[in-house]
């Protein structure tokens, strides 16, 4: 049986508020395999953002374990966790979150510079910009880009470390239906073309047909939808 690229096993997250305990995630289990694109849907406050943060090793669960490529990452040191995120996980944040004083090209170069691969990173950055139709915009700053272009830059940046896992948080939120669909199509294509695993948190039901599975989250619990 194929080992999942990403696995959450009996994951819970709770916070203490005085004498009360607030449960955000409750005994969550999920496996995502190579070449699989999974959508997580649910109402606001259901735990989607917390789920994605734990899946990406940005937040530690209160109970349970997270596995990346078969390795438990829950109890790794901060340094090791940073290395895993840098080398294995690509994040696409809602609203692109580009650095206003960096050009498109320099946005992409942040990760290879941090990873010590500046020269190889330049070649890959140019390749990605070409694939995403941004080659002519490489020297522009974010305020000179359209919403769709900014989101494509965010996708390119997330792919710069050639991650095994892609995590996208509401990638269509600031886009119209046509541009939003194109963005999700780009993610789906990357997943299939390079055999990656991806999770997308979304409210946008218009793009769910591009995903292999849809999982609902309600009151901190995952429910398989299809």
Flag whether 140 is in a domain.
yes
pLDDT value, residue 1: 46
Q: How many residues does the chain have?
A: 226
pLDDT value, residue 100: 93
Residue 32's φ and ψ, nearest 5 degrees, are -125, 120
Flag whether 40 is in a domain.
yes
What is the distance between the alpha carbons of residues 165 and 198, in angstroms, rounded to a whole number?
Answer: 6
pLDDT value, residue 119: 64
pLDDT value, residue 197: 95
pLDDT value, residue 117: 63
pLDDT value, residue 7: 94
Own/partner contacts of 109-117, CB < 8 Å, gap of 24 or more, are: 109/160, 110/157, 110/160, 111/86, 111/157, 111/160, 111/161, 112/160, 112/161, 114/86, 115/86, 115/87, 115/161
Flag whether 1 is in a domain.
no
Contacts of residue 21, Cβ cutoff 8 Å, sequence gap at least 6: 14, 15
pLDDT tens readout for residues 177-197: 887 888 899 899 989 988 999
pLDDT value, residue 135: 93
Q: Residue 101 burial by CB count (10 A; 0-12/13-18/19+): exposed, middle or buried?
A: exposed
CATH of the domain at 58: 3.40.50.300
pLDDT tens readout for residues 44-73: 888 898 999 999 989 999 999 999 988 898
Q: Please tell me the total count of domains within the chain.
A: 1
pLDDT value, residue 116: 64
User: pLDDT tens per residue, the chain (226 residues)?
Assistant: 467 899 999 999 998 887 888 889 999 999 999 999 999 998 888 889 899 999 998 999 999 999 998 889 888 888 888 888 888 899 988 777 899 999 999 999 987 777 666 666 888 899 989 888 899 999 999 999 988 888 889 988 998 888 999 999 998 887 788 878 888 998 999 899 889 999 999 988 899 999 999 999 988 899 875 5
DSSP secondary structure string, 87-130? HHEEEE-TT----TTS-HHHHHHHHHHHHT-HHHHHHHHHHHHH
Sign, Cα dihedral of 174, 177, 58, 141? negative
Flag whether 166 is in a domain.
yes
* Whether 153 contacts 134, CB under 8 Å: yes
Range of the domain at 102: 6-224
What is the distance between the alpha carbons of residues 89 and 124, in angstroms, rounded to a whole number?
Answer: 17
């Amino acid at each position: 049986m194929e080992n999942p690229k990403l696995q959450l096993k009996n994951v819970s997250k709770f916070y203490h508020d005085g004498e009360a305990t607030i449960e955000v995630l409750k005994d969550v289990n999920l496996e995502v395999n190579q070449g699989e694109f999974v959508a997580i849907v649910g109402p606001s406050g259901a735990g989607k953002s917390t789920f994605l943060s734990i899946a990406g090793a940005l937040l530690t669960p209160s109970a349970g374990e997270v596995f990346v490529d078969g390795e438990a990452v829950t109890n790794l040191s901060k340094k090791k966790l940073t290395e895993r995120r840098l080398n294995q996980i690509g994040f696409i944040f809602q609203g692109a979150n580009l650095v206003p004083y960096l050009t498109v090209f320099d946005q992409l170069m942040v990760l290879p510079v941090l990873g010590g691969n500046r020269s190889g990173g330049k070649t890959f950055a140019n390749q990605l910009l070409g694939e995403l139709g941004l080659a002519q915009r490489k020297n522009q700053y974010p305020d000179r880009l359209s919403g769709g272009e900014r989101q494509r830059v965010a996708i390119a940046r997330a792919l710069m470390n050639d991650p095994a896992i892609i995590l996208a948080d509401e990638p269509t939120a600031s886009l119209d239906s046509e541009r939003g669909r194109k963005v999700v199509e780009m993610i789906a294509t990357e997943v299939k073309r390079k055999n990656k695993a991806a999770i997308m948190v979304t409210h946008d039901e218009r793009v769910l047909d591009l995903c292999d599975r849809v999982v609902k989250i309600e009151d901190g619990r995952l429910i398989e939808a299809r």
